[in-house]
Structure 1
Amino acid sequence: MSGCLCLPCNKRPTPKAGSSAATKVDSLQKKPTQQPPPQPPSKNMDAVERLKSGFQKFKTDVYDKKPELFEPLKEGQAPTYMVFACSDSRCCPSVTLGLQPGEAFTVRNIASMIGPYDKTKYTGTGSAIEYAVCALKVSCIVVIGHSRCGGIKALLSMQDGSADNFHFVEDWVRICHPAKKKVHAECKMLPFDEQCSILERAAVNVSLDNLKTYPFVKEAVANGKLKLVGGHYDFVNGKFETWVSS
């Protein structure tokens, strides 16, 4: 059944041609009916309504205006990049890097970390990497750290032998314990915040090294079909830097 509810209406007499009333009716009929533009989302809006409003704005402002972008995506995807980024709400890679739908196969987690090849411990990460490299044939994997990262701060704050405060967080960030050891050894005289900033980049390098333990990644890199890139997004100062993993 259609969702349209049609109500009966009373017919009005048709004005005679040439009359001022007829001219007014013709003028009204020629004007196209326009829907009011969607209102921008409000922070005070109900959480579900915020999602609906946000999608409607996207559909009106982007999706409906760019059929040349979205039509091909209905048939499949062929992204250039695989992007690992932090789950931090301030660091959306599609926004900060201007990535369009279809450009990047993206994984976000605490501190954008990648564990080493392990068929039992890191299967979620491993399956995403395998699909991106073996099925989608991405040509570049980018791992992006960022300023004031809570995961990095947690890693640097952890004391050996102390009890964990979370069910999962501490065990996860221990992936980059080698980076923490390096920072402690080389930068222990620096203030804590400066150590965190250095560790943000060092942790990215550990994840890049861990990527090379995946046999299909190692093979693609050796054959020149895949590049591994590190990145750091400083949202405090509005800076973004990259480096290629050797």
Structure 2
Amino acid sequence: MQDIEKFIRGFSRFQEQYLKEPTALDSLRQGQHPRTLVIGCCDARVDPALLTGCDPGDIFVVRNIANLVPPCAPDAPPGVSSAIEFAVCGLEVARIIVLGHARCGGIRALMSGARISEEAEQTGFVARWMRLAEPVRRDVLRELHHKHADEQCRAAELASILHSLDNLLTYPWVRRRVEAGTLAMHGWYFDLAAGTLLAYSARKQEFLPILDPVAVNVPHAA
């Protein structure tokens, strides 16, 4: 029950901050007009709104395991594809951010072939979903076969962001807007260990810190 009590206290703070001011409440009632679509991971440690300090209505968020984007195809998983379609064609967002992160369980499962549980094997939903990133796994294992598994996973986490950005361009209405200059796309990576946020630079072809990292206190073993 402690979690439920925490949620209730949290909603009370939400009421105080957003619902008691008439202007804030009116804005929320009139509909949503976000300028940014964020495609993030389901990981409980990586909440896009918390990471970026956003208020309700600021961002349209799609979250799935490993922040993957399926390519545009008749048999594409409709949940993610329909959300992208609504954000781009309906809300006319100005930018899309694919937000990946360090120590992603989905990517680690992809790279190691680890099972979630015997019970989950009966349905295999996670394994089937992660097949979207199979090209990433193959490329990383081919190019970094001599590296430690942790390095391979980090490389796959970063590469999967770029893979999702490439898949976004298979949607005709995304590509048209990108080519017209009315839609920008960004790849971001939250490094949990270093406490920093990286952005992909197409010019330098690497992920670079958006801000200087802050000091992170890591407890040492006794």
Instruction: Please indicate, yes or no, whether the TM-score normalized by the shorter chain is above 0.5.
Output: yes
- RMSD (Å) for aligned C-alpha atoms: 2.1
Q: Give 2:178's aligned amino acid.
A: V
What SS does structure 2 have at the residue aligned with 1:220?
helix
Q: How far is the alpha carbon of 1:78 from its aligned partner?
A: 1.2
Cα distance change on mapping 1:229 and 1:244 into 2, 3 Å: farther
Q: How far is the alpha carbon of 1:76 from its aligned partner?
A: 1.4
Q: How far is the alpha carbon of 1:152 from its aligned partner?
A: 0.3
The separation in 2 between residues aligned to 1:76 and 1:86, in whole angstroms, is 25
Q: Which residue of 1 aligns with 2:35?
A: 80
User: Which structure is larger by alpha-carbon Rg, 1 or 2?
Assistant: 1
Q: Which residue of 2 aligns with 1:9?
A: none
1:49 is the counterpart of 2:5: yes
TM-score of the aligned structures, taking structure 2 as reference length? 0.83
Q: Give 2:6's aligned amino acid.
A: R
Q: Which residue of 54, 58, 82 corresponds with 1:99?
A: 54
Q: Which moved more, 1:66-75 or 1:225-234?
A: 66-75
The separation in 2 between residues aligned to 1:101 and 1:134, in whole angstroms, is 21
Q: Which residue of 2 aligns with 1:130?
A: 85
The separation in 1 between residues aligned to 2:188 and 2:137, in whole angstroms, is 18
The separation in 2 between residues aligned to 1:84 and 1:215, in whole angstroms, is 18
Which runs of 5 or more structure 2 residues have no equivalent in the other structure? Answer: 204-222
TM-score of the aligned structures, taking structure 1 as reference length? 0.75
Q: Which residue of 174, 184, 193 corresponds with 2:150?
A: 193
Contact between 1:116 and 1:210, CA under 8 Å: does it hold in 2?
yes
Q: Which residue of 2 aligns with 1:113?
A: 68
After the TM superposition, list the runs of 4 or more consecutive aligned residues in structure 1 that deviate by more than 6 angstroms. Answer: none
Q: Give deviations 1:153-205, integer Å, cap 9, x for gaps.
A: 0010129xxx9846201111110111111111111111101111111010011
Identity %: 38
Q: Which moved more, 1:47-56 or 1:87-96?
A: 47-56
Q: Which residue of 2 aligns with 1:148?
A: 103
Q: Which residue of 2 aligns with 1:227?
A: 184
What SS does structure 2 have at the residue aligned with 1:102?
coil
